[in-house]
Structure 1
Amino acid sequence: MKKSDINSIEIAKIAGVSRSTVSRVINNYPNVPKATRDKVMQVIEQYKYSPNFSARIMSGMKTRTIGLFMISPEEVFHDSLTTSLITGLIESASSKGYYVLTHIIRNTKDQDIVRKVKETFYQQRIDGGIFVGAANHEPLIEELIAEGYIVGIIDQNIEGRYESNRVVCNFGNLQGMKQGVDYLAALNHRKVAFITGDPQRCSGPEKLEGFKNAMASHGLEVDPRWIIPSDFTEKGGYNSVRQWLKKVQELPTAIFACNDSVAFGALAALKEANLTVPDQLSLIGFDDHALSSRIQPALTTIHVDFTEMVHTLISNIIEAIEQDPKGFKKYVGTTELVIRDSCRAI
């Protein structure tokens, strides 16, 4: 049935309530008696009424919509971890009565793309935005925060930037790296290589720092020859380890990858070079990817509680939207060692 042209004033008259009551019902405010809410909703459904979006914005009402911006030069569906993170954010927002407007940003240097993202905020189509996959210092994000918009970032750490409209959610990188190195040390590994992540992302240098600190706590040397530059992708892990194997003179006894996707790529490169895991090299990842328990050998890794992370991030974003930001909020996720088959004692 076609939507009618009836407005909120007429809805209020038919229902025998004030226009403000209709507004409170539409915006799901809790201070409306059930009988009144049911009466208004009955009229709304009868006349197929839907509030004008532009009018809602003009009146200062919230859109109950969060923007989710994924920054990735590659197609995100190739990585099930990323897609599960996005799905988790959408499910968490939906459970709290919020819609999620999603957009993939291929290149933050493209001014046309940047302009369109900014317009989403400027036109008040969203109440706040979440960015995933951004560089630690991303000018687009910093400009939006400086202009007062509520912005959530997964994986960021900028010293001295504690604005109340900046909501940060980070992985437990330092704790997780320590758990992994502690485990390898307990297996008597003394020569450990590390595959680094993207140096522009917060987790890249933070995980490297965590690795070095954890090695030092066991009195173990970090050999520069065994620091393998990479990014956070399976392809990057494969290419970096493949090239590293061509030039390294002495192999370590274990490799710690910055995440499980990189570990998958590393495993493929090692197999290609006829090096078996864990007989010749132990391998450990980070994240606990959905495929980590299914590959051969099953990957020992650091489990990250993504469910807890996304729930906390969404809750903090919505609190900032509905109550106005009252202070900088940062959450660091929890980690746990998951022992499988890719590491052995020596």
Structure 2
Amino acid sequence: MVTIYDIAKKTGFSITTVSRALNNYSDVSEKTKKLILQAVDEMGYYPNSIARTLTTKKSWTIGVIFVEDLGVGIMHPFFSAVIESFKKYVEKFGYDIIFLSRNVGGEEKSYIDHALHRGVDGVIIVCSHDDDPEVKKLIESPLQTVVIDLYSNKTSVVYSDNVNGSELAVQYLHSLGHRKIAHIYGHQKTMAGVERLKGFLSVVEKLQLNIPDSYIKDGSFFSVDGGMQAMSELLELGDPPTAVFAAGDAMAIGAMKAVEAAGLRVPEDVSIVGFDDIELAQYVTPALTTIRQNTDLIGQSAAEVLLKQINNKNKVFSAVTIPVELMVRESARPLKPE
């Protein structure tokens, strides 16, 4: 069995340096960590969890709390991609992840109780809104935490630049000649819904577009059905939009279905831009132009923030904003001159 001594011998670093690199201590350079982690992968090193627990006073487990409103759970394409990235990164430093529910041994418990019961070293919270009082209690507790896609001044948070994403989407449609641009927004209890609507309204003002209130439609909890309903209402207007920016890809796909159901075509009759760049976006017909969230970087950044807190045994209040980018595909095109 490969030991930490073998890793030290192969890399030429001391056992102490190898140990600190595997524990993600900040005093070890990224170059050194990379070399050590590469050797770990090549040699198949698996530290003994029981021995490590006794030596380091850590459980080497991180709790995951996942709360969303569509009812699809971990199958949600954006959140599942973020968690997968987070998982891959923390595993490199010897951590396991476990999902924390409100049920322990058949009894209803708080998230804090479950985290303490499991003895986790920290918790990543993936949550679409902050209405859950048990989530709030956990965020405000001394336990090391990081929150994805939700703003809080009580803990560390990581989220995409939603406002800039909206601006990129609308500016792109504007560059194609569109002036009648509608927005299908996500639920206003979510940070993403609020920030993306804020970005839409901001760029519309900058571009001096006269957008009527009837062009701004509620897509509910970022669902396909919500997008279909909102798009159907837009198409029924006396002066419908020539382009639509939907605050989520599922809503954009729903909007595309509504256009097709009305006997129209995307992008010939209506241009549509989404937000998220879920995997399905590039495979629908036409392929969806959208704003890409970097789920790999979101997950990795969340892992780095949380591991730093765990190693320093100190809760940190910080906000990390991840850049977004426009992915141009086939669902939007220049407006035909009338």
Instruction: Give the TM-score taking structure 1 as reference length.
Output: 0.76
- The match for 1:211 is 200
1-structure distance, mates of 2:235, 2:101: 36
Distance 1:105 1:224, change over 3 A: farther
Residue 241, structure 1, aligned to residue 205, structure 2: no
2-structure distance, mates of 1:82, 1:172: 16
- The match for 1:130 is 124
- The match for 1:84 is 81
Kept after mapping to 1: 8 A contact 2:167/2:199: yes
- The match for 2:60 is 64
What is the letter of the counterpart of residue 119 of structure 2? R
Aligned pair count reads 291
Distance 1:234 1:96, change over 3 A: farther
Tell me, what secondary structure is at the counterpart of 1:336? Answer: strand
The Cα shift of 1:344 comes to 1.2
2-structure distance, mates of 1:323, 1:127: 12
Kept after mapping to 2: 8 A contact 1:64/1:127: yes
The Cα shift of 1:60 comes to 8.2
**Aligned residue runs from structure 1 range 60-209, under 5 A:** 61-73=57-69, 74-76=71-73, 78-103=75-100, 113=108, 115-123=109-117, 125-158=119-152, 161=153, 163=154, 166-209=155-198
Residue 313, structure 1, aligned to residue 307, structure 2: no
Tell me, what secondary structure is at the counterpart of 1:342? Answer: coil
The Cα shift of 1:245 comes to 4.5
- The match for 1:343 is 332
What is the letter of the counterpart of residue 67 of structure 2? I
2-structure distance, mates of 1:219, 1:131: 39
Kept after mapping to 2: 8 A contact 1:71/1:105: no
The Cα shift of 1:281 comes to 0.5
Distance 1:29 1:89, change over 3 A: closer
Kept after mapping to 2: 8 A contact 1:136/1:155: no
The Cα shift of 1:95 comes to 1.9
Distance 1:195 1:30, change over 3 A: closer
CA RMSD of aligned residues (A): 2.9
2-structure distance, mates of 1:78, 1:50: 30
Kept after mapping to 2: 8 A contact 1:256/1:284: yes
Distance 1:266 1:103, change over 3 A: farther
Deviations 1:292-332 (A, max 9, x none): 11111111111111111110111000100111236422111
Kept after mapping to 2: 8 A contact 1:85/1:310: yes
What is the letter of the counterpart of residue 92 of structure 1? Y
The Cα shift of 1:208 comes to 0.3
Tell me, what secondary structure is at the counterpart of 1:152? Answer: strand
Distance 1:29 1:301, change over 3 A: closer
Residue 232, structure 1, aligned to residue 222, structure 2: yes
Distance 1:83 1:326, change over 3 A: closer
Among all aligned residue pairs of Structure 1 and Structure 2, give the percentage whose two residues are the same amino acid. Answer: 26
The Cα shift of 1:50 comes to 6.7
2-structure distance, mates of 1:281, 1:70: 36
Distance 1:173 1:30, change over 3 A: closer
Deviations 1:25-77 (A, max 9, x none): 8xx7799xxxxxxxxxxxxxxxxx87399x95xx9811111111111351335
What is the letter of the counterpart of residue 120 of structure 1? H
What is the letter of the counterpart of residue 83 of structure 1? S
- The match for 1:288 is 277
Moved more, 323-332 or 261-270: 323-332
- The match for 2:8 is none
Instruction: Give the TM-score taking structure 2 as reference length.
Output: 0.78
Kept after mapping to 2: 8 A contact 1:156/1:202: yes
Max radius of gyration: which structure? 1
Tell me, what secondary structure is at the counterpart of 2:254? Answer: helix
Kept after mapping to 1: 8 A contact 2:24/2:311: no
Moved more, 72-81 or 261-270: 72-81
Runs of 5+ unmatched residues, structure 2: 1-14, 26-47
2-structure distance, mates of 1:189, 1:29: 52
Residue 221, structure 1, aligned to residue 215, structure 2: no
